[in-house]
Chains A and B, each alone.
Chain A
Amino acid sequence: MRQASEKTAQSETGPASQKSMGFPPPLPGTVVFGIETSCDETAAAIVRRGREGEAEILADVVLSQIAEHAAFGGVVPEIAARSHLEHLPVLMRKALEIAGMEWADLNAVAVTAGPGLMGGLLVGMMSAKALALSRNLAFIAVNHLEAHALSPVLTEGLSPPYLLLLVSGGHTQLVAVEGLGHYRRYGTTIDDALGEAFDKVAKMLGLGYPGGPEVERLAAAGDPRRFALPRPMKGREELHFSFSGLKTAVRTAALSIETLTEQDKADLCASFQQAVIETLADRLQRACRKFRAEHPDLAAPAVVLAGGVAANRAIRAALAGVVEEAGFSLHAPPLAMCTDNAAMVAHAGLLHYEQGRRDLLSAPARARWPLDPNAEPAIFAGVKG
């Protein structure tokens, strides 16, 4: 969380330039309550537009359900939904208390309406609608991907346009962020999300959950060249991803060994991670080229790396190299802002509120909600589109 003084100092690159970059004029004093329940994090937050036009995070509480899903090696939708119901009201009260506010001090409530797991989305949506109705607040249904896409505006004072690589347990997307409501999807996964692939590899090797940190830990002691695994989509012109075949290749390689030793597991993890790195590097390289071609006048193009997988140090280091070589600057919001949280939802809601958007209390939760409605569907992409 940045301090107000830093924000003022950064206003040159931050909020002040918003006007020219497709953001509505700021409405100082606006307070937005945010709710996030789309996957396995229950979160509530309060964001305020400050006097200088900066966005301030007044409260940001997140409750992770990791322990509840660990035995299953992945998020179980029904367990997630039950947990959201149990914890959300407590987190809502806590956020208000941390901000030192009353319900009557709020102007709007923003909630993730999708994409995500329906059971969890509904709990967040109903709670947000109850708050909007009981306190007569503006109600704003936020796209979860948009909240991620705009989070560097909140955390870094970055202004669009910029190129976003979102890699998490639920999403793998390359998006050109042009301004509020203006996103062009360059690529998406046609099957598993990258974080999901890490979880599945960890699960088959009997490692812990979530799989990302475990696979990264073992990979550090492994030989990335021992197993010849595919580099899915590498070299392809279109900027999509695919991780299902890679995961199956890891499985086949693992089953070719009679009894897996710790070294075998480390080598499998290292080989898998290397395949992922090379694939991501290739995709990002091409995306930078495309972004550059589409924004020839942009003096300092930027890449934003977001999502839980961005916490992987080996991936981050490799992508930093790609970004530097392409002449872009790399921005990675702090991990707490990279993974699911409600501050980014409140912030996206704040921008929409300032633009005058108000949603109806009959607005539905949406399991699928593409950020770029004009993007051609990626073949086989299904719900990940």
Chain B
Amino acid sequence: MLILGMDSCLQACSVALCDRASGQVLSHRREELERGHAEILPDMVDAVMMDAGDPYERLAFIAVTRGPGSFTGVRIGLSFARALGVTLEIPVTAMTTLEAIARNVGANPERLPVASVIDARRDEVYIQVFDADYAPLTDAMAVRADEAAAILPPGPCLLIGTGAEFLADEDTGRFLADASPLPDAEVVAMHSLVEPAPQTLPEPLYLRPPDAKPQGPLNNVK
């Protein structure tokens, strides 16, 4: 069962072709970058598929990150993955960036909860806490940075993500995990839902409304 995974939500862009049955990564590409995801993602997918002999007809489904992250980055990966699913007529499944980053921790022998924290700019973070098996313990949220600590579990935990560092505090047992703070397509391909619904497409997770305020007429208009 071949799964094509991809991510472009944050400061990295990656694509992976995995065989879930054997747990094997057949091909993988990754680049860390601030901008330009849209220009490199299609060629990355092409390269990854070529590496494996272009097995489009053997793809079981597409797996993609659906945010939260940069609105543009979320839409780049999601629109590409959704259109691949529609045109190849195969299902598309998705994972949040928060879960993908949390799963970078991998084996967690002390079975600590994992808090995934993404720098959301404007003094905010996207945050979600998972148990040691990566089942969510909280909702995914956008909160002010100074409110983030209150979301963390009371006891020891592992912190990971681009906005995690400021929450680390060894005295209270809040340790920064020694793993990448950015999502990777391999994790997305290996761990996203196995059987996505065939006709429904994954929705983006923005966690923030569009920045726009309704505007009224001039004051002398009744």
Contact = CB atoms under 8 A, between A and B. Distances in A.
16 contacts: A85-B204, A89-B82, A89-B85, A123-B75, A123-B79, A130-B80, A131-B83, A134-B88, A135-B87, A203-B217, A204-B218, A206-B217, A206-B221, A255-B218, A257-B220, A260-B220
B87 A88 contact: no
Interface stretch (B100-108, B169-177, B207-215): B207-215
A49 to B, nearest CB: 22
Interface residues of B, number: 41
A212 B40 CA distance: 40
Q: Which of A123, A135, A265 has the most CB of B within 10 A?
A: A123
Interface stretch (A73-81, A149-157, A231-239, A376-384): A73-81
Q: Which of B42, B46, B211, B221 has the most CB of A within 10 A?
A: B42
Interface stretch (A50-58, A184-192, A290-298, A361-369): A361-369
Given A79-B212, A129-B42, A254 B79 contact: no
Contacts of B168: none
Contacts of B214: 71-72
A362 B42 contact: yes
B91 to A, nearest CB: 13
Contacts of B147: none
B71 A92 contact: no
* 7 tightest A-B CB contacts, nearest first: A206-B217, A130-B83, A78-B210, A127-B83, A361-B42, A126-B80, A126-B79
A126 B218 contact: no
Given A135-B87, A257-B220, A361-B46, A127 B82 contact: yes
A82 interface: yes
A65 B43 CA distance: 31
A251 interface: yes
B221 A205 contact: yes
Interface of B: 38-43, 45-46, 56, 71-72, 75-76, 78-89, 201, 203-204, 206, 210-218, 220-222
A77 to B, nearest CB: 8
B59 to A, nearest CB: 9
Given A78-B71, A85-B78, A103-B87, A122 B212 contact: no
Contacts of A203: 215, 217
A350 B41 CA distance: 25
Contacts of B38: 122, 125-126, 364-365
A308 B6 CA distance: 39
Contacts of B72: 81, 118-119, 122
Given A82-B204, A82-B210, A361-B46, A92 B83 contact: yes
A93 interface: yes
A119 B71 contact: yes
Contacts of A6: none
B39 A362 contact: yes
A374 interface: no
Contacts of A118: 72
B56 to A, nearest CB: 6
A102 B80 CA distance: 19
A81 B71 contact: yes
A94 to B, nearest CB: 11
A340 to B, nearest CB: 18
Given A76-B210, A122-B76, A361-B42, A206 B216 contact: yes
Contacts of A362: 39-40, 42-43
Given A122-B76, A134-B83, A362-B39, 10 more contacts: A78-B212, A89-B86, A118-B72, A122-B38, A126-B79, A134-B84, A206-B216, A265-B221, A361-B43, A365-B38
B76 A89 contact: no
Contact of A133 (B46, B220, B222): B46
A260 B43 contact: no
Interface in A196-225: 203-206
A108 to B, nearest CB: 14
A259 interface: yes
A85 B78 CA distance: 8
Contact of A127 (B40, B80, B206, B218): B80
B78 to A, nearest CB: 6
